[in-house]
Amino acid sequence: MQWLTIITFLIFTGFVGAFTYYKSKGKVNEVHTNDTYFLGGRSLKGGVIAASLMLTNLSTVNFIGMSGQAYKNNMSVISWEVTSGLALVVVAFFLIPRYLKAAITTIPEFLEDRYDTGVKTFVTYLFMAGYILNGIPVTLYTGSVALGQIFDVAGSFHISQSAAIWVMVWAIGIIGAIYTLFGGLKGIAISDTIYGIGLLIIGFAVLYFSLRSLGHGHFTSGFSKLFEGNDAKMNAIGSSTDPEPFGTLFTGMLLVNLYYWGTDQAIIQRVLGATNLKEGQKGVVLAAFMKVMTPFFIIIPGIIAFKMYGNSISNSDYVYPQLVNDVLPGAMKGFFAAVMFGAVLSTFNGMLNSASTLFSINVYKAKNKATSEASIIKKGKWFGIILTIASLFIAPFIMYAPNGLFQYLQMVNGFTNVPILTVIVVGYLSKRIPAVAAKISLALFVSVYALLQLVIKPDIHYLYQLAILFVVCVIVMMIVGTLKPRHTPYALPITGKVNIQPWKHRFEASGIVIFAMLGMYVFFSKLGFAGKEGVTIMTFVWLAVIAVILAVLVIVLKVRDKKKILHDVSNQHHSLH
């Protein structure tokens, strides 16, 4: 059975590699510009962008960690997934048009134009430090652990667990580097699209076979058993003792999601490569809908596992792998492993490509302004190779870290994510706030957050702390801007390089996303499956009320937006001529 798993894994992985090479081989030797290599030639379509966003985001941490948390606690863990839908809608409407108008390659480029070189340099090194010391090694390590368990690498090759981790880290790292360094973003996006399709198929396959197993061979029986009891397990609202209380959804969690989806270079680089604003918005909103739907194949399996196993699994990290091994047929286990491999690979690829882009554009090019684009790309590739080698040696040593490492890393992310988001949001919303305000905000945010987390340690959830600091730093920037405003108001540059006519169906599509998000909380609460009577007519009454409100809002926004669309298109035509 293990050999069947390996064979199906190799077949699907080999197909993806061959197809990606075939589709991008003609492009590799044509790579002469930064846009071609780092942004896929600004030719990415909506479907490719959505698939690439999802694959970069989803990894073994999502499947194993979130299913495990649902198994251990309740459905409240869906908050990270479904509120991403709202964050992505905000990004599609607010940030993407501005990014594409200016045709930027990296987020720090905007910060330099809006503030000054000092702010750009600080944020660039902040991004790179996060990828080098945290993101890439941790991704390689978690991927090696998950895939090592699926294939039982230690047992199959009669080696120690530590040796198995070294083998898997190097295998993932080398293959990922080949995709990134030789294909650029175009090669990554092609493979992500195929893996994205596979992810949807295998995700719902695990859900289907799990429900069949729960129902002793009958899907409908398993579906009924899933909702038997109407207990707290099905409640997405949760309680104050859950890891992420409900109140954090629209405070610190929303800010973290806005940073991740709207400003993290590894994520937003997919959208910066859009062929036009229409495709960029289409891809982001489609990804938003997919994120709202992910709880069905990431989190619900954890609830199914609880129904099947009770409390018999002491370590929740083993819940999802055990469920997969118990319910999937042998051939499909290999397909599952290939898709998980693709998810890990995509996250690694995204971070490596983004780190190389940041180094090439914001460090090397900034110091060598007269250099050619071919030289910039070459330096980016060499930086990627050096970074890959360093990560291959760093990642395995994470196994020796003390317990609680990943909780610590989550806390550490707060030092960079919301502080950067703060200066970007204020930079776009204001015209007179100067660079010194951004520098004060970054220093204040990071230092106070460090004081709270490492010294004072108040009994306040870290997401609430981030929300409070966000508000405080915005106020500080406004005060500084009042006392010492810019000499000239900031004007967003319009290059005319990218067509900025928006997607005409963005309002309707976004309305569907928000309806789906709110619908998840109606169904998975005391209004629905977690209630005493389960889903009743009142459940659908609430859904109907939400639908009517959103429909009216969409109509109002479409009417008000007509004049703005004509104005934007007129400005773009003017800049082109």
Does residue 31 lie in a domain region?
A: no
| Cα angle: 378, vertex 383, 389; to 5 degrees | 130
Residue 175 pLDDT: 78
Structure tokens at 185: 């973003």
Give me the DSSP letters along 514-546: HHHHHHHHHHTSTTTTTSTT-S-HHHHHHHHHH
Residue 224 pLDDT: 87
Residues in CB range of 564: below 8 A, 6 or more apart: none
Closest CA to 150 of 111, 95, 202, 196: 202
Residue 117: CATH number of its domain:
1.20.1730.10
Residue 180 pLDDT: 59
Residues in CB range of 199: below 8 A, 6 or more apart: 54, 55, 58, 339, 342, 343
Q: How far apart are CA 96 and CA 88, in angstroms?
A: 10
Query: Would you put residue 550 in left (φ > 0), alpha (ψ -120 to 50) or beta?
Result: alpha
Does residue 294 lie in a domain region?
A: yes
Does residue 26 lie in a domain region?
A: no
Could you tell me if 252 and 462 are in contact, meaning their C-beta atoms sit under 8 angstroms apart? Answer: yes
Could you tell me if 356 and 73 are in contact, meaning their C-beta atoms sit under 8 angstroms apart? Answer: no
Q: How far apart are CA 446 and CA 119, in angstroms?
A: 14
3-state helix, strand, coil in the chain (%, to 5): 80, 0, 20
Structure tokens at 449: 């957050």
Residues in CB range of 365: below 8 A, 6 or more apart: 371, 376
Count of structural domains, the chain: 1
Does residue 142 lie in a domain region?
A: yes
Give me the DSSP letters along 411-431: HHHTTTHHHHHHHHHHHHH-S
Q: Which amino acid is at 136?
A: I
Which range marks the domain in which residue 131 is found? 2-20+41-576
| Cα angle: 120, vertex 126, 130; to 5 degrees | 145
Q: How far apart are CA 76 and CA 293, in angstroms?
A: 15
Residue 464 pLDDT: 92
Q: How far apart are CA 100 and CA 115, in angstroms?
A: 19
The Cα-based distances of 269 to 60, 143, 460, 553 in angstroms read: 22, 22, 34, 31
Local confidence pLDDT in tens for the 577 residues of the chain: 477 777 888 887 777 777 776 766 655 444 444 454 445 456 678 888 888 788 777 776 678 778 888 888 888 889 889 999 999 999 999 999 888 888 877 788 888 889 998 898 888 887 787 777 777 887 888 788 778 877 778 887 888 888 888 998 898 888 777 765 555 555 566 666 777 777 778 888 999 999 999 999 899 999 888 888 757 788 888 777 777 788 888 888 899 999 989 988 778 877 888 889 999 999 999 999 999 999 988 899 999 999 999 888 877 777 887 888 889 887 788 888 888 887 777 777 777 777 887 788 777 777 777 677 777 777 877 888 888 888 889 888 877 765 444 455 666 778 888 999 999 999 989 999 999 999 999 999 989 998 998 889 888 888 899 999 999 999 999 999 999 999 899 888 887 788 888 898 999 999 999 999 999 999 998 888 888 888 899 999 999 999 999 999 999 998 887 766 566 556 655 555 5
| Cα angle: 9, vertex 137, 342; to 5 degrees | 25
Does residue 25 lie in a domain region?
A: no
Could you tell me if 96 and 284 are in contact, meaning their C-beta atoms sit under 8 angstroms apart? Answer: yes
Structure tokens at 356: 């190389």
Could you tell me if 245 and 464 are in contact, meaning their C-beta atoms sit under 8 angstroms apart? Answer: no
The distance of Cα 542 from the centroid of its chain, to the nearest Å, equals 30
Closest CA to 307 of 328, 332, 326: 326
Does residue 33 lie in a domain region?
A: no
| Cα angle: 90, vertex 360, 352; to 5 degrees | 65
Residues in CB range of 352: below 8 A, 6 or more apart: 131, 136, 176, 177, 180, 384, 387, 388
Cβ atoms within 10 A of the Cβ of 263, count? 23
Residue 354 pLDDT: 76
Closest CA to 365 of 106, 148, 143, 563: 106
Does residue 233 lie in a domain region?
A: yes
Length reported for the chain: 577
Residue 407 pLDDT: 52
Q: Which amino acid is at 333?
A: K
Residue 409 pLDDT: 62
Closest CA to 38 of 364, 336, 468: 364
Cα-Cα-Cα-Cα torsion 209, 210, 211, 217, nearest 10 degrees, comes to 60
Residue 403 pLDDT: 46
Does residue 28 lie in a domain region?
A: no
Could you tell me if 454 and 494 are in contact, meaning their C-beta atoms sit under 8 angstroms apart? Answer: no
The Cα-based distances of 78 to 65, 161, 235, 253, 303 in angstroms read: 12, 32, 10, 12, 12
